[in-house]
Structure 1
Amino acid sequence: MVTSCCLLAQEMDSESVFVNLDYLGSSGVVLSVEQKASLQSSLLLLKREHKFRRVKLWGVVRGIGNDYFIAQGVGKDELKDRKALYSQDCILWSLLPHADQGLKHKSSLMRGRFTGDPSFEYETTVTHRVGEGDAAEEQSTQIELKEEDRLAAVVSRIDEEVALVPRGAYIRTPLGEVILNNSFQGLSLADAKRLNYYMHFKRSSGVEEEMKSINQSVDFLETIDKDIPKGCWSLVTANGGSAVILRSLLWPGMMGFTIPCSRTFGHFYCGIGERNPDLLFML
């Protein structure tokens, strides 16, 4: 069995995970000794219990009363076979509900920080106009959403919009399955500083794009350099130039990193779970 030394490491090797998280320490990603110890054992048990091929430590959503630690269990296909779970004590884990488009839309209407209570009920009123001209009337709709459902939707939205990996880190097999690329040796320092060498880690959004890349085993993902608005990614070097870190300005708290000329890479979220709606006016 081949193991990977990236943050999203095969077998969820605790040592490599927490060593690699140190690269993001300057960005505010800090776990206590107790949290690391609990995660080291509980994630391994989680993998066995659910029969995942491997488990990823996805990130932390900060709440007012409690934080949510997020993990992802991965099956045969790295993109299709993913399940998200959450924990508040780094020991006991619960599956997050499936986030469909309706749930994601509801979550986009909610404002304010997570409370830290999965059973908390959010309420908001949405007003829209019905009809045209002078006959148009305003109608209000009450939207309710449980915090656990909002959490599932926010994790899914972050994955879809800003989860990223270096070019070549994953390949698509002739059967269409997305797997770790065991031949990946890392990006060169020059390439690691270019946005077009980072890809969105999500399935192609259009049939035309899917058909165009159907015979490509490496370039089947979309690059982040064309993301709108322009300038929504911040790229910096850290640790004396030995690491390259990308920060999303659209979803503050999402960070990706790679160590040039090595197999070490990853992405991790640490934030309050809110999208930046004013980014276009800030750039």
Structure 2
Amino acid sequence: MESSLIIFYLSILFLSGMTSAQLTSNAYASSCPNALSTIKSAVNSAVSKENRMGASLLRLHFHDCFGCDASVLLDDTTNFTGEKTAGPNSNSLRGFDVIDTVKSQVESLCPGVVSCADILAVAARDSVVALGGSSWTVQLGRRDSTTASLSAANSNIPAPTLSLSGLISAFSNKGFTAKEMVALSGSHTIGQARCTTFRARLYNEANINTSFATSLKTNCPSSGGDNNLSPLDATSPTVFDNAYFKNLLINKGLLHSDQQLFNGGSTDAQVTTYSSNSATFLADFASAMVKMGNLSPLTGTSGQIRTNCRKTN
């Protein structure tokens, strides 16, 4: 089952520091000119079959971006432990088969040229566009890791119970402003969360809309049903828009960490701005995504270009 799209809270904290590595928007212009259009077609096909896949592919990129190196795609073997069995990933991340399909198609065009890490970055952007969000220029040239870190995946992921100060501090440690943190949190306008991630808020917190809470309790009882899913944005869960922020204004944030963004604190004004100006939100989200995609990728002679995203060459 998919855990929550606590995309940003589950993954930004993975991220290493900013990098001076040089990624470029035209990395494949001559070496594989049809790479981006091929990825886009495959993503559009997957999302048209299941809207939820758009959120899943976006989340895959975030969970990868503690190095933006495709380490999250590596399968376990008898002598190698990947990150798929980490607590936040196991029975939660999905979309691996879509990435496999994309990789196969791109390999047919240009063997050994396009990295799995770049495919994840482009697929995330194309997923947002497929669900109605704005596009952005993805910087390319990442290489794929030959290692993974189960311990990092397990230890560096904050809970959806974080306070506003905890969120601001966590994002600040990775070079993000509070404004960028709020923008990135808008990813929760798509995707779903498991009952276990919001049960405590549902039954114990006062800053939650009463009718909203009542409706959620039918699918998330006080005990049992841990894996039952509810949309992070109950208004338009398969459209990448600013409804997430509008919901926060009326205490309809699903996760504790969501509602913290609008709870009498320093980010209230930013939430209000995004709730009334979709264009501003979409532009700020795109900018923050570019910044996130540039966090510590492997470039140059580091890593490799995997032929199969699930295993090293």
- Scaled by the length of structure 2, the TM-score of the pair is 0.29
- Report which of the two has the higher share of helix: 2
Q: Which has the higher contact order (CA 8 A, sep 6+)?
A: 2
Larger Rg computed on CA atoms: 1
- Report which of the two has the higher share of strand: 1
- Scaled by the length of structure 1, the TM-score of the pair is 0.32
